[in-house]
Amino acid sequence: MPAEPKSIPGAFQYGGYWFLTKHSLAQVPGLASCPPFDFLQFARCDSRLPDLSGAPVASWLLARVCSMTRGRMPYTYDFVEGSDGNDLYLGFTCHSNDGGFLGEVSFLASAEHITLNASAVPPVSAESLRDAIRKAVLASPHRVARSRVTVTWTSGEIDEARNSVPRAYGFDGDRYLDELAPEHTIDWSEYD
């Protein structure tokens, strides 16, 4: 029998579902998915979102999720994440109260977009998991935690990626981050 989610550090509950941080992009086969959800547009329309002073919503999302998981993230503060799609990945597995696997949800976030994806083990609907994580994140939008992740675009076949400057997302305790991190730019000449 799997461990009860409430006994796992960093687990959080919303709408009858438990969410645990997922450390990998790997997807479980055989799950039923729903169409990607434009979380960025949805969040921008929510009047409860704190003042970001021009920072991307992705910075708030990272800080919010870090608070929800009580810091139990796959990233440490000032982590540098390589991404083939130039996206910050925030993924979770979804479980029942007894620990049974129900599906997974993930945010792919950047300064330009935030997509929320969900898939579930039928008869659980992917939409119900997606809606639960969306509501959980927006339930207490001012509860955030110090966090910083720099995303480096690692797809060397795309000129846009080869010429991009890494971006830092998160919250330093005083402000949401809206900064580039050129010190983490990949030297592509080492790979040519």
Tens-place pLDDT, residues 20-55: 998 776 777 889 999 999 999 999 999 999 999 999
pLDDT less than 50: residues of the chain: 1
Determine, yes or no, domain membership for 3: no
Determine, yes or no, domain membership for 131: yes
Determine, yes or no, domain membership for 11: no
Determine, yes or no, domain membership for 2: no
Determine, yes or no, domain membership for 121: yes
For residue 123, whether the previous peptide bond is cis, meaning omega lies within 30 degrees of 0, is yes
Give the count of domains, the chain.
1
Q: Distance between CA atoms of 9 and 72, rounded to whole angstroms?
A: 7
Full domain range(s) for residue 66:
16-23+31-190
- Within a 10 A sphere around the Cβ of 119, how many other Cβ atoms? 22
Q: Kindly report the backbone phi and psi dihedral angles of residue 37, in degrees, each rounded to the nearest multiple of 5, phi listed first.
A: -110, 135
Determine, yes or no, domain membership for 7: no
Residue 84: what pLDDT? 77
Token output for 60: 């708030």
Residue 81: what pLDDT? 82
Mean of the per-residue pLDDT values of the chain: 89
CB 164 within 8 A of CB 86: yes
Residue with tokens 């969306």: 134
Residue 50: what pLDDT? 95
CB 74 within 8 A of CB 144: no
Residue 72: what pLDDT? 84
Q: Distance between CA atoms of 95 and 36, rounded to whole angstroms?
A: 20
Q: What pTM value is reported for the model?
A: 0.91
Determine, yes or no, domain membership for 110: yes
Determine, yes or no, domain membership for 86: yes
